[in-house]
């Protein structure tokens, strides 16, 4: 039977149901309205709503109704009540507090990426974590999605991480509002379909010798960085962030940390490094550079010692009058290696030079070699071809330069 407001103060010790999970709990002098429910984890739970002296029975029924709606949506009302009392954290504050933690072990640009993500969703910045719904995330993403769907996809993935971490720390409850599956998937077009992805613009490999000759007339460090990228088939990020400590001159190798690459972690959670054999022209290019600081190709546009941003290499390529991207340059190498009849290069060796993982997980478990010597022969042949228009690599050695492996 429903509780009678006139009998609230006359009830003896015990629990009296009002319906819908609302109870009057009497214990001695204490008289409280409580709410009983099944929590999202499947366990029975009881939470105090308020003392009978603080709110009326009708107000208790209204609160019980709101709690029932939360439970229906998979939200624990105890957590929501706690967050409402403490105020919680804003999205901006939470991201800024965790940027260093989320960027640990990754490339140095990660903090900047997180800052760009935060800047891309101004409507969410000052919202409390527990207040954000799918509708809020959708409204923040739509403007980005319409212009740059790939960027929108990256922002959404990182927001999903933010709200997932907030839930793990009990700073919010319920479903992740930035989740794609069974959520935003039905509200936004797939980034791949929206972007209509096209391959990176590449340079016909027959023009590569002329390109290398054109780069030689550019005295900037960015041009040397592009040359090194051509000779090693490295990705833009890998060559821009290359460090002297990664190069072994005695063994003529460059070990790229897995955290700087697209290669993921192995089954044990360890980053997979990539060992690059350095051809004679590549070694000669490195020896021609002054060794000042951490990075091999420090930006000449910055006051402090730091690496180049992607735009610097784009500009260096543009100055040669050729139109291609650094990633497209890797396609130039792939086409040359595939069509080089004299070399008759094996497919696995070519793909390994591009740091592509070959085969399925079972093959990865059995194949642990790096084919370093076979790749060295291929990279030497590629360097010879790319440098053929000028015969020799750039010779700009610094006097009495001491190189330490």
pLDDT tens, position by position, 77-91: 887 777 766 667 899
Two tokens at 170?
A: 């009990």
From residue 79, give the alpha-carbon distance in Å to each of 39, 71, 168, 390.
11, 11, 12, 70
Q: Is the pLDDT of residue 54 over 60?
A: yes
Q: Give the lowest-confidence range in 38-42, 48-52, 198-202, 362-366.
A: 362-366
pLDDT level of residue 64 (50, 70, 90 thresholds): very high
CA angle (242 as vertex; 239, 244 as ends), nearest 5:
145
- Residue 47 forms beta bridges with which residues? 35
Query: Are 377 and 277 within 8 A, CB to CB?
Result: no
- The arithmetic mean of pLDDT across residues 239-245, rounded, is 93
Q: Is the pLDDT of residue 365 over 60?
A: no
Q: What is the pLDDT of residue 390?
A: 44
Q: Is the pLDDT of residue 266 over 50?
A: yes
Q: What is the pLDDT of residue 255?
A: 93
Is 84 or 399 the better-scoring residue by pLDDT? 84
Q: Is the pLDDT of residue 402 over 70?
A: no
Q: Is the pLDDT of residue 401 over 50?
A: no
- The arithmetic mean of pLDDT across residues 343-352, rounded, is 87
Q: What is the pLDDT of residue 194?
A: 61
pLDDT tens per residue across span 175-233: 899 999 889 988 988 766 665 555 567 788 899 999 999 998 999 999 999 999 999 99
Is 239 or 401 the better-scoring residue by pLDDT? 239
Dihedral sign (CA 303, 305, 310, 316): positive
Is 213 or 358 the better-scoring residue by pLDDT? 213
- Structural domains in the chain? 5-85 (3.30.160.390), 91-195 (1.10.150.130), 205-386 (1.10.443)
**DSSP alpha helix (H) spans, 54-127:** 57-72, 77-86, 91-103, 110-120, 122-125
Q: Give the lowest-confidence range in 186-195, 254-263, 362-371.
A: 362-371
Which residues have C-beta within 8 Å of that of residue 161, sequence separation ≥ 6? 102
pLDDT level of residue 398 (50, 70, 90 thresholds): very low
Per-chain mean pLDDT for the chain: 84
pLDDT level of residue 359 (50, 70, 90 thresholds): low
- The arithmetic mean of pLDDT across residues 133-151, rounded, is 90
Is 49 or 174 the better-scoring residue by pLDDT? 49
Q: Give the lowest-confidence range in 263-277, 344-358, 372-386.
A: 263-277
pLDDT level of residue 362 (50, 70, 90 thresholds): low
- The arithmetic mean of pLDDT across residues 314-343, rounded, is 85
Q: What is the pLDDT of residue 36?
A: 94
Is 385 or 292 the better-scoring residue by pLDDT? 385
Q: Is the pLDDT of residue 308 over 50?
A: yes
Query: Are 142 and 182 within 8 A, CB to CB?
Result: no
Q: What is the pLDDT of residue 265?
A: 52
């Amino acid at each position: 039977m429903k509780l009678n407001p006139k009998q609230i103060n006359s009830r003896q010790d015990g629990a009296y149901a009002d319906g819908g999970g609302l109870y009057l709990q009497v214990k001695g002098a204490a008289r409280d309205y409580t709410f009983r429910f099944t929590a999202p984890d499947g366990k029975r739970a009881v939470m105090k709503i308020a003392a009978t002296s603080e709110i009326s029975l009708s107000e208790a029924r209204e609160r019980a109704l709101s709690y029932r709606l939360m439970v229906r949506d998979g939200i624990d009302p105890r957590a929501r009540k706690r967050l409402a009392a403490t105020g919680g954290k804003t999205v901006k504050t939470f991201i800024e507090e965790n940027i260093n933690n989320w960027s640990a072990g990754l490339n140095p640009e990660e903090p900047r990426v997180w800052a760009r993500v935060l800047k891309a969703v101004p409507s969410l910045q000052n919202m409390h974590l527990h207040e954000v719904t799918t509708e809020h995330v959708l409204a923040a993403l739509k403007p980005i999605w319409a212009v740059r769907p790939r960027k929108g996809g990256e922002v959404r993935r990182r927001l999903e991480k933010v709200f997932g971490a907030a839930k793990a720390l009990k700073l919010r409850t319920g479903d992740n509002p930035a989740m794609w599956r069974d959520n935003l998937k039905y509200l936004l077009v797939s980034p791949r379909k929206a972007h209509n992805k096209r391959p990176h613009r590449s340079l016909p490999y027959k023009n590569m010798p002329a390109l290398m000759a054109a780069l030689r007339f550019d005295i900037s460090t960015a041009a040397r960085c592009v040359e090194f990228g051509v000779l090693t088939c490295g990705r833009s990020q890998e060559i821009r962030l290359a460090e002297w400590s990664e190069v072994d001159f005695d063994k003529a190798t460059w070990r790229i940390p897995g955290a700087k690459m697209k290669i993921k972690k192995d089954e044990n959670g360890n980053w997979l490094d990539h060992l690059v054999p350095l051809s004679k022209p590549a070694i000669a290019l490195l020896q021609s550079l002054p060794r000042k600081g951490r990075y091999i190709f420090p930006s000449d546009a910055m006051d402090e010692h730091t690496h180049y941003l992607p735009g610097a290499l784009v500009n260096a390529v543009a100055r040669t009058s050729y139109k291609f991207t650094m990633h497209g340059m890797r396609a130039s190498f792939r086409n040359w290696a595939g069509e080089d009849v004299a070399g008759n290069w094996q497919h696995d060796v070519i793909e390994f030079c591009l740091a592509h993982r070959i085969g399925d997980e079972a093959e990865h478990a059995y194949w642990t070699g790096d084919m370093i010597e076979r790749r060295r022969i291929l990279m030497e042949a590629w360097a010879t071809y790319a440098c053929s228009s000028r015969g020799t690599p750039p010779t700009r050695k610094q006097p009495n330069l001491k190189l330490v492996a």
